[in-house]
């Protein structure tokens, strides 16, 4: 039986996304701790802060992918899934590929372990409203602004 190393599988998957030229479905999470702090990650590719998120895996629903991505990227547990806040599909948002990003809200635990890929995610932190960094990576400032205001959006 041929085994493909996990890292190589990820690279192959990214190449196939570009070859197939179809939008990639993913999500970002407007994640807050029970005391109201916002969970952000600092990305390895840009060095900037961002909302937690990722792409949907084959055979996975958005709801089942949510706790997986939160644990992989931020080391937090999903306490409760909230509302759908928006759908963003502008192909200019992500320089890597055309992403269709679903924004959901969630309540999460404090970070309990480091990110699974320390090259992709450099840091995880929960911020109070008065200490939020900016600008966010991947044009996420407007996503965060709308989520904080309770605005629904789709494009």
CATH number, domain at 73?
3.90.79.10
Mean pLDDT value across residues 107-122? 94
What is the number of other CB atoms lying within 10 angstroms of the CB of residue 28? 25
| Residue 92 falls inside a structural domain | yes
- Answer yes or no: is 124 within a domain: yes
The pLDDT of residue 11 is 75
pLDDT at residue 74 is higher than 90 = yes
Q: 8-58 pLDDT, tens per residue?
A: 666 777 776 666 678 889 999 999 999 999 999 999 989 999 999 999 998
Q: State how far the Cα of 69 lies from the Cα of 106, in Å rounded to an integer.
A: 12
Q: Is residue 70 part of a domain?
A: yes
**Which pLDDT does position 95 carry in this prediction?**
78
What's the rounded Cα separation, in Å, for the pair 23 and 98? Answer: 5
Q: Which domain holds residue 108?
A: 22-154
Tokens of 44: 């390895």
Is 8 inside any structural domain? no
In a domain, 12, yes or no: no
Asked, for residue 15, whether it belongs to a domain, the answer is: no
Residue 100: closest CA among 36, 50, 26, 34 = 26
Which whole number is the average pLDDT over 53-74? 94
Which pLDDT does position 111 carry in this prediction? 97
What is the Cα–Cα distance from 141 to 134, expressed in whole angstroms?
8
Specify the pTM.
0.85
Residue 144 falls inside a structural domain: yes
135-153 per-residue burial string, b: 16 or more CB within 10 A, e: under 16: ebbbebeebbebbeeeeee
- Please check whether residue 11 lies inside any domain of the structure: no
- Per the structure, the count of domains in the chain is 1
Q: How many alpha carbons fall within 13 Å on the CB side of residue 36?
A: 5
């Amino acid at each position: 039986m041929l085994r493909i190393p996990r890292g190589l599988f990820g690279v192959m998957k990214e190449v196939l996304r570009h070859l197939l030229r179809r939008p990639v479905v993913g999500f970002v999470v407007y994640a807050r701790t029970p005391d109201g702090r916002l969970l952000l990650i600092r990305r390895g590719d840009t060095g900037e802060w961002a909302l937690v998120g990722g792409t949907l895996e084959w055979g996975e629903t958005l709801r089942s992918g949510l706790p997986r991505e939160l644990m992989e990227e931020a080391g937090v547990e999903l306490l409760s899934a909230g509302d759908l806040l928006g759908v963003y599909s502008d192909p200019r948002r992500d320089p890597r590929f055309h992403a269709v990003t679903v924004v959901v809200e969630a309540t999460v635990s404090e970070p309990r372990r480091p990110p699974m890929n320390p090259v992709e995610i450099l840091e995880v932190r929960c911020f109070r409203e008065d200490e939020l960094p900016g600008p966010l990576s991947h044009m996420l400032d407007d996503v965060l602004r709308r989520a904080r205001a309770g605005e629904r959006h789709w494009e």
